[in-house]
Amino acid sequence: MIVFHNAGKSFGNTVALQPADLEIASNKTTVLIGLSGSGKSTILRLISGLLEPTTGWIEIDGEKLTRDNLPDLRRRMGYVFQSGDLFPHLTARQNILLVAQELRVGMDEMTARIAELCGLARLPAALLDRYPVELSGGEQRRVSLIRALMLKPDILLLDEPMGALDPMVRAGLLTDLKSLFDRLNTTVVLVTHDLLEAARLGDWVVLLNAGKIVQQGAYAELSMCPAEPFVSEFFHAQMEDIHS
């Protein structure tokens, strides 16, 4: 379980995330949703230690996140960024193996793990020796996902993994992610601005606006019982998009 204890982040006078208490359940998929600048990515960056909170603290499975235990905790996390997070000078396989090699994981074990993950993420093994520029956007996301899952993380963090993909590719990836999350049985935190993703993937949905958590609960709960006018506005805006 990931727990925010009054944790907040400001950059000078700009508040990225107002001090918040938040519990992210283990082995469930939590979706952080909101407009850009709402603070949803900030939460992800605080969990991964890319940012340090300016107020409060964060606990992961009862352990307070500090600079000292960050390297160890990071080994238990996988992170997928929006796009272009693959290292362009390395092949897909080299990207995937980078960390395992640094930890001197045995070759047989790595080969087996890659085969397993290619199956799970539905990436043809033939693509592994291509460079990122030689892969489509969807294929790149799948490689990035395999890289994040390589060391069997307890926590998988995804920052708009389907941003910048065309709709067809996105639909396919969404289905695959859904079945992947179901089979992995790990803690997933996914950031998106898209309600469809929240509806399909989220066991728990946290809606943010202007650095504040507005409402959280199951998707249906937010949809049926909006706690604030903003919640219904947010839902309506996207529904209109779909129907127009």
Instruction: Please report, as ranges, the residues that interact with other proteins according to CB under 8 A.
Output: 48-50, 71, 74-75, 77, 79, 81-82, 84-91, 98-99, 102, 131-134, 147, 157
Nearest CB to other proteins, comparing residues 8 and 78: 78
Distance CA 127, CA 107 (A): 19
Least CB distance from residue 191 to other proteins, whole Å? 14
Q: Residue 61: which region, alpha, beta or left (left: phi > 0; alpha: psi -120 to 50)?
A: left
- What angle separates helix 167-184 from helix 137-149, to the nearest 10 degrees? 20
Nearest CB to other proteins, comparing residues 128 and 222: 128
Least CB distance from residue 136 to other proteins, whole Å? 8
Least CB distance from residue 82 to other proteins, whole Å? 7
Nearest CB to other proteins, comparing residues 132 and 211: 132
Nearest CB to other proteins, comparing residues 47 and 205: 47
Number of C-beta neighbours around residue 200 at 10 A: 16
Least CB distance from residue 189 to other proteins, whole Å? 13
Nearest CB to other proteins, comparing residues 90 and 196: 90
Least CB distance from residue 161 to other proteins, whole Å? 13
Nearest CB to other proteins, comparing residues 4 and 81: 81
Supply 27's token pair: 């082995």
Distance CA 124, CA 21 (A): 42
Question: Are 79 and 48 contacting, i.e. CB atoms less than 8 angstroms apart?
Answer: yes
DSSP secondary structure letters along 30-49: EEEEESTTSSHHHHHHHHTT
Angle at 47 between CA 99 and CA 143, to 5 degrees: 40
Least CB distance from residue 49 to other proteins, whole Å? 8
Angle at 1 between CA 50 and CA 76, to 5 degrees: 50
Distance CA 78, CA 189 (A): 10
